[in-house]
Each structure stands twice: as C-alpha cells, then as structure tokens.
Amino acid sequence: MSVTVSMIVNGKSVSAEVDPRTLLVDFLRVDQRLTGTHVGCDTSQCGACVVHVNGKSVKSCTMLAAQADGAEVATIESLAIDGQLHPMQEAFRQNHGLQCGFCTPGMIMSALDLVNVNSNPSEREIREWLEGNLCRCTGYHNIVKSIQAGAEAMSEV
C-alpha cells in the first residue's frame, strides 16, 4: 500500500507515492535527494534533521511525510541564493560555528526559527532554544556567537 503526498519543498511543488510509514526526513533525503538535512540519531534527540514546516522548525524524523501533505517545507538547501550564503550561514562561517558540520543544517534551521520569533536573542535564550540540537564538536560557544552575529546581520538586511 502507498499514499500520495504532495507538498511545496523549497518553493517547488513535489508529489510522490510513498509508503505510509515514510518519515519526512527520508522523503526529503531519499525521494527529493535533499541530503543537507541529516539524521544523527534514532531517538529524536539530536536535531540534525530540523527543517521548517509552514515556517516553524520541526524535527523531520518525528513526522511522517504524509503528515506534511499540503505543507510548505524549507530545508537548508533553500537558504543560499545563487551561491550567496544566507546571513546566518555566513555568520556560522565567520564565527567558526562548526567543525565537522554534521549538526550545522539543523542548528541553522533552528536558529532561523528563533530569529523569526525573537530578532535579538540573548545568549541564554539561544542556549535554551538549542536544547533540542546536539553538537559533539564545538562546545556550543561558537554556535551561540554565530547565531548572535547572524541575527544582527539579518536585522540589517
């Protein structure tokens, strides 16, 4: 048995027949070949899979593709335009907010959701917001710095 799911992914209408048990993260990575969204755990803890669904950050491993039917989904691939990094991506680059980079797509998509609701987050607010995003490389300090710098840069655009 399969179900048809249709959604807008990064501004493009997509539709596919999938197993009803297909997770949104697998739909994005396998069906849509958008491998910037990562899978770092099987316990919904790491946040490497965060995307935006209807403008809100969601762990895409916790949602079925069928539940996103009709939704607007944005992944990390939607951010850079014509090779120009988004200000939040540029801030991570400038502030050494990554090492291996595995957690980075999820960190950035979470950070953008935070900045959407709070354009000038404090260090404490950023640390609280990132409770669902794990990084095993950086010690978080430069991630927090990057998000502060990214929020500032976005407010200047």
Q: Which residues bind ligand FES (CB under 6 A)?
A: 39-41, 44-49, 59, 61, 98-103, 135-138
- Least distance CB 56 / ligand FES (angstroms): 15
- Rounded to the nearest 5 degrees, what angle is found at the Cα of 43, between the Cα atoms of 37 and 48? 20
What number of residues does the chain have? 157
User: For residues 49 and 147, which CB has a smaller minimum distance to ligand FES in the complex?
Assistant: 49
Output 113 or 157, the one with its CB closest to ligand FES.
Answer: 113
Q: Give the integer Cα–Cα distance in Å for 59 and 110.
A: 9
- 41 vs 53, beta carbon nearer ligand FES: 41
Amino acid at 132: G
CB of 142 to ligand FES, least distance (A): 9
Least Å distance between CB 41 and ligand FES?
4
Query: Each residue of 81-106: b (16+ CB within 10 Å) or e?
Result: eeeeebbbbbbbeebebbeeebbbbb
Beta strands at 72-74 and 3-9: parallel, antiparallel or unpaired: parallel
Nearer to ligand FES, 102 or 129 (CB): 102
Closest approach, Cβ 13 to ligand FES, in A, equals: 25
At 91, give phi and psi (nearest 5°).
-65, -40
- Least distance from ligand FES to the Cβ atom of residue 40, Å: 5
> At which residue do the structure tokens 């710098």 appear?
149
Nearer to ligand FES, 10 or 99 (CB): 99
Residue 114 DSSP SS3: helix
